[in-house]
Amino acid sequence: MERDLTGAALHRMSQPLTVLRGSAELALIRPLSAAEYREAILTMARETERLVALAEALRALHQPPVAPEAPPDPLARLQAELPPLAQDRGVQLELAWAGWPAAWTEPILQLVHGALQRARTRVTLAGDGADAVIADDGPPLDTAAWDKAFDPFANGADIAAALRAALARRQLQSLGAAVTADAGGVGGNRLRIRPA
């Protein structure tokens, strides 16, 4: 996964670098008006921001996963951090911790962030046996869209959200858990985290 994401990141970096180089060369070899210089500088600033975001995502992916200390009460942590985010988005949030490993709390927290971004009106986090299930009522994602949701370097990806999801999945894998994603029954989406 790291090799694939690194290759994708390097490929994605070539476009802003080409734009930066072209804008700089154009500004140096021909006279431009003040407005044209300003536009060239704004273009270079935008492309630089894209490069910075890609570089930060790449750096984060190459950090070794760190298993978090298990919080004393995982449900209390979820109840403290998630409801304000749900309220800001106008989304109803239902939380029920059902005995999955407490070390899953941090990556689950990050995956619920993504569900809150997708949701129209509702997100649930509940247990299903030893599994944790995150469901949202957002537009159903197909396989390609789920792949993009976990790939910060995919074309058109929300780099921050996809990076958070990719790192959460990686952390769960390091804890011996598998993450599967699919459409959630009569619409919406479902992430299932289960012992591998």
CATH 1.10.287 domain residues, the chain: 2-61
Give tens-digit pLDDT for 49-98: 878 877 777 776 666 655 555 446 777 878 888 899 899 999 999 988 77
User: Two tokens at 137?
Assistant: 């009522």
2-61 is classed CATH 1.10.287: yes
CATH 3.30.565.10 domain residues, the chain: 74-195
Q: Return the sign of the alpha-carbon dihedral for residues 69, 71, 75, 81.
A: negative
Q: Which CATH architecture has domain 74-195?
A: 2-Layer Sandwich (3.30)
- pLDDT number for residue 123: 94
- pLDDT number for residue 79: 83
C-alpha distances in Å from residue 132, one per residue of 20, 52, 115: 45, 34, 14
Tokens 């009569």 found at: 186
- pLDDT number for residue 69: 55
Per-residue pLDDT of the chain (196 residues; tens, 9 = 90+): 556 666 777 777 888 888 888 888 888 888 888 898 888 888 888 888 878 877 777 776 666 655 555 446 777 878 888 899 899 999 999 988 777 888 888 899 889 989 998 999 999 998 877 889 999 999 998 888 888 888 877 777 777 788 888 888 988 998 999 999 987 655 789 999 999 8
- pLDDT number for residue 1: 56
- pLDDT number for residue 31: 87
N- to C-terminal Cα distance for the chain? 17
Closest to 131 in 3D by CA, of 192, 76, 184: 192
User: What span, in angstroms and rounded, lies between the C-alpha atoms of 73 and 80?
Assistant: 11
pTM over 0.85: no
